[in-house]
Amino acid sequence: KAGVTQTPRYLIKTRGQQVTLSCSPISGHRSVSWYQQTPGQGLQFLFEYFSETQRNKGNFPGRFSGRQFSNSRSEMNVSTLELGDSALYLCASSRAQETQYFGPGTRLLVL
Amino acid sequence: EDKVVQSPLSLVVHEGDTVTLNCSYEVTNFRSLLWYKQEKKAPTFLFMLTSSGIEKKSGRLSSILDKKELFSILNITATQTGDSAVYLCAVGSTYNTDKLIFGTGTRLQVFP
């Protein structure tokens, strides 16, 4: 069974630009969660989608948004990038309220 | 505010040693506690614990949960250099969400 896939794996952007990251969950998983990982803050919850609905949101500014499609694939978008947005963005999928499995992440560098 | 605290932050041992990693939590409506291992990229799943006192075991790794004292431990026996990683503890709640609250992790370094 294929694992969680994320694209792109690496991204370099400049301040003020926007970025879209993609996540394809494990087949049959309808829940997708996004996390931001930085050396200083560790893994921080961004948001969670289930059946195309945002079910929960973390404490991030409105520049961070996401969506989920009918095939459970999910995208997250960050607008007006800031230097502090440089991080590893991880996507995790699960059958609802079961073990979450993580993708390889997208490493974003904002210059 | 919900929180998960791991200790120690860092651990350096020699191959063959046994280590114990700690995770304590304060979470509203606890549902489950999960352990992950993170080497370079994605955290990989180790254990999910939901009931107190029941040990989960996988090879040299084992874990147990104490819901009364609100903590869990992860034991690794006969450590190997391949065990070097950051070990993350995460807690989920019973609300209608898959959100996990993570601790900052314990960095384990195993030297030959």
Instruction: Convert the pLDDT of each residue in B53-70 to its tens digit.
Output: 899 999 999 999 999 999
DSSP state of B15: T
Beta-bridge partners for B20: B75
Q: Which residues of B touch A102 (CB under 8 A)?
A: 36, 42-45
Residue B5 has pLDDT above 90, yes or no: yes
Tokens of A108: 């974003």
Of A82-91, B34-43, B71-80, least confident by mean pLDDT is: B34-43
Per-residue pLDDT band at B96 (split at 50, 70, 90): confident
Asked if the model's pLDDT at residue A103 lies above 90, the reply is yes
Interface test with A, best of B29, B99, B102, B106 (most A CBs within 10 A): B99
pLDDT at A74: 98
CA distance A45 to A60: 9
Angle at A77 between CA A71 and CA A81, to 5 degrees: 165
Task: Give the pLDDT band (50/70/90) at residue B97.
Answer: confident
Please state the rounded mean pLDDT for residues B34-49. 93
| A83 touches B: beta carbon within 8 Å | no
Binary contact (A55, B101; C-beta < 8 A): no
What gap in Å lies between CA B32 and CA B94, rounded to an integer? 8
Q: What is the average pLDDT value for chain B, to the nearest integer?
A: 94
How confident is the model at residue A1, as a pLDDT? 67
Q: Is-contact A23 A73, C-beta < 8 A?
A: yes
Residues contacting A42, CB < 8 A, separation 6+: B102, B103, B104, B105
Beta bridge partners of B100: B92
Is cis: bond before B8, omega within 30 of 0? yes
